[in-house]
Structure 1
Amino acid sequence: MSAAPFPRHIAVLILATLACSFAGGHIAARIAFDHDTGLLLAMLCRSGVTMLALIALVLWRSESLRLKPQTWGWQLLLGLLIAVQSFCIYSAVARIPVALALLVVNLAPILLALLTWALGGPRPTARAALLMGLILFGLVLVLDLPARLSGETQIDASWIEGVLFGLTAAAVFACALWVTEHRLSAMPGTVRSMLTMLVVFVASALAGAGGLLPGGMGLPSAGVGWVALACLVLLYGTAFSTLFIFVTRLNIARNAPVMNMEPVAGLLFGWLILDQLLGGMQIIGGLIVVSGIVLLTYRRPA
């Protein structure tokens, strides 16, 4: 199923819209959590609906599910990693401003580069190392560490937990990206993503049934929570499915950095919808982080 790539301005518009949809999904998640929606329930609904959409796509494309025996193990690992990443990012979103959580999670490209190097891959270039340093500097500003360490801004347990969950999500996602690139790259993207969502769905269901997280399967306590849960599922499922339907026409190698506007959209939506506003220095730090990640992940067209 090959089709001509979209003109670049159309591809960029689609990717920007998807980034905004993912950011909107995290805003909806925060609203749902604020109205007592269980974290595992959100994961279960999100992965379940997305899985069904991907199953339909796999059937439509008549893609084979025959995998090599060793591939199944890596696929299971990938699904478990994404399940942990989803749990951690939702835990971060529930504790700190959405834009802050997304910026912390966006450290994944740095961690992926370091992980690849540690496992025998190429050493980061001097340019990449410089950009990594710039991103970390921006993150220091985003987290407002100078003010917090000097005592001007209070550090509470919820803030520390949120940041740690965000960092864990970034680290786990970097591992998932490594597995995808080095062990499962030969698989069709839709099949890999469908099986990944299946593992996330089953893991969420088992964790919920086993009561591993108190309140993890709690239902929303108000109509607003139900609407937010529905928006979370709709935004994520639509964006995720759309990405894989059009992935061959979006020239991802060239246009992928556009997706890094998700934290910027999260900042805007967080301000407009949740009244979450970062300080001026934090916003500057966020722009530094996003710019650094865009430059780090940008690939010149061959």
Structure 2
Amino acid sequence: MAASPAAPLFPRKLAVALLALLACCFAGNHIAARIAFDNDTGVLLAILCRSGLTLLALAALLAWQRQPLSLPAGTRGWQVLLGLLIATQSLCLYSAVARIPVALALLVGNTFPILLALLGWALGGPRPTRRTALLMGLILCGLALALDVPARLRGGGADEPAWALGIALAFGAACVFACALWITDHKLAEVRGPVRSLLTLAIVFSSMLVAGLSGVMPAGLSVPGSSSGWLALASLVLLYGVAFTLLFVCVPRLNMAQNAPVMNIEPIATLVLGWALLGQQLSAMQLLGGALVIGAIVLLTYRKKG
């Protein structure tokens, strides 16, 4: 049963270890997704299975806790929009994972803190501080190195269209996720977290099902073409479902305001798993760029007091 808001926090070391484990599970989910896609699995099918299993787990938890699913007045439309944005983010990120090295897709996708800060400023929020602006610039420089932009500009190889589309999809995922976080903070703050999570997953599942049945994305519901593909599909569903549900249950005791930056270990874990399981390697310059991005994002997500 989920801890109540008054439940004692986990010890710092336990909370950090648990968040690192969850980040590794999410990383493993993306690696499994790439293996599934390489074995003819449809992107829509992967998201449909992933969200469906997690939805059932959360629904069972909420039913056990007997929590009502009512929404405060004026939030229904925003909740629907949030679900559609998360569905779009999932679709964009998985589509990027299918086209470019998984670690690069996650590095680009994890730039959402920059976009969230800029979005908040554009919509009347506080202007980014000099420290924030400096870290944003460092993230962009790191991305330029991680994506090997200079070599790409000089090159023009056969994989250029797929690479460009993959980067665009990952950046689109970051943009959409930043919008979703802004809506969560400013329009759905009154909605209880468990209800918001459940309804969001329900909308993701429904939208993927409609998209698949409508044929808007050809081969989106294609089943794996081999036993390896089926195993990868089962793995991504299990890893995501366990990680999401465990995070959902434990988040009141994890002191996320202090410990959330630990989740940025996900791209690092993805890089290691991508090298070990997929043979995806990055150059020393790309690794340096990735380290700059992750380090700057960690600093950016820490709230500086005073």
Band of TM-score, shorter chain: over 0.9
Q: Which residue of 1 aligns with 2:95?
A: 91
In structure 2, what is the Cα distance between the partners aligned to 1:125 and 1:72?
Answer: 34
In structure 2, what is the Cα distance between the partners aligned to 1:198 and 1:50?
Answer: 10
3-state SS of the aligned residue for 1:177? Answer: helix
- Of the three residues 132, 138, 153, the one matched with 1:134 is 138
Alpha-carbon distance change, 152 to 283 in structure 1, aligned in 2, over 3 angstroms = farther
Q: Which residue of 2 aligns with 1:258?
A: 262
* RMSD (Å), alpha carbons: 1.3
In structure 2, what is the Cα distance between the partners aligned to 1:247 and 1:59?
Answer: 19
Deviation at 1:60, TM superposition (A): 2.4
Contact preservation (8 Å) 1:254, 1:300: no
The answer to whether residue 237 in structure 2 is matched with residue 224 in structure 1 is: no
- Give CA-to-partner distance per residue, 1:154-192, whole Å, 9 cap, x none: 651110110000000000000000001111122221110
In structure 2, what is the Cα distance between the partners aligned to 1:64 and 1:122?
Answer: 35
Amino acid at match of 1:93: V
Contact preservation (8 Å) 1:57, 1:190: no
What TM-score results when the alignment is normalised by the length of structure 2?
0.96
Deviation at 1:67, TM superposition (A): 1.1
Q: Between 58-67 and 70-79, report the one with greater CA deviation.
A: 58-67
Contact preservation (8 Å) 1:147, 1:153: no
Amino acid at match of 1:298: Y
In structure 1, what is the Cα distance between the partners aligned to 2:206 and 2:158?
Answer: 39
Q: Which runs of 5+ in 2 are unaligned?
A: none
Q: Which residue of 2 aligns with 1:214?
A: 218
- Of the three residues 175, 198, 202, the one matched with 2:179 is 175
- Of the three residues 107, 113, 127, the one matched with 1:109 is 113
3-state SS of the aligned residue for 1:175? Answer: helix
Deviation at 1:153, TM superposition (A): 6.5
Deviation at 1:47, TM superposition (A): 0.5
The answer to whether residue 50 in structure 2 is matched with residue 41 in structure 1 is: no
Alignment of 1:184-195 (within 5 A): 184-195=188-199
Q: Which residue of 2 aligns with 1:18?
A: 22
The answer to whether residue 202 in structure 2 is matched with residue 198 in structure 1 is: yes
Deviation at 1:69, TM superposition (A): 3.8
Alignment of 1:129-168 (within 5 A): 129-151=133-155, 156-168=160-172
In structure 1, what is the Cα distance between the partners aligned to 2:112 and 2:266?
Answer: 14
- Give CA-to-partner distance per residue, 1:198-224, whole Å, 9 cap, x none: 000000000011111100000000001
Q: Which residue of 2 aligns with 1:290?
A: 294
Deviation at 1:68, TM superposition (A): 2.6
Amino acid at match of 2:295: S
What TM-score results when the alignment is normalised by the length of structure 1?
0.97
Q: Which residue of 1 aligns with 2:11?
A: 7
Deviation at 1:57, TM superposition (A): 1.8
Q: Which residue of 2 aligns with 1:248?
A: 252
Contact preservation (8 Å) 2:72, 2:190: no
- Give CA-to-partner distance per residue, 1:91-137, whole Å, 9 cap, x none: 00000000000000011000000000000001100000000000000
Alignment of 1:69-80 (within 5 A): 69-80=73-84
Report percent identity of matched pairs.
61
In structure 1, what is the Cα distance between the partners aligned to 2:289 and 2:88?
Answer: 27
Contact preservation (8 Å) 1:254, 1:301: no
Q: Which residue of 2 aligns with 1:53?
A: 57
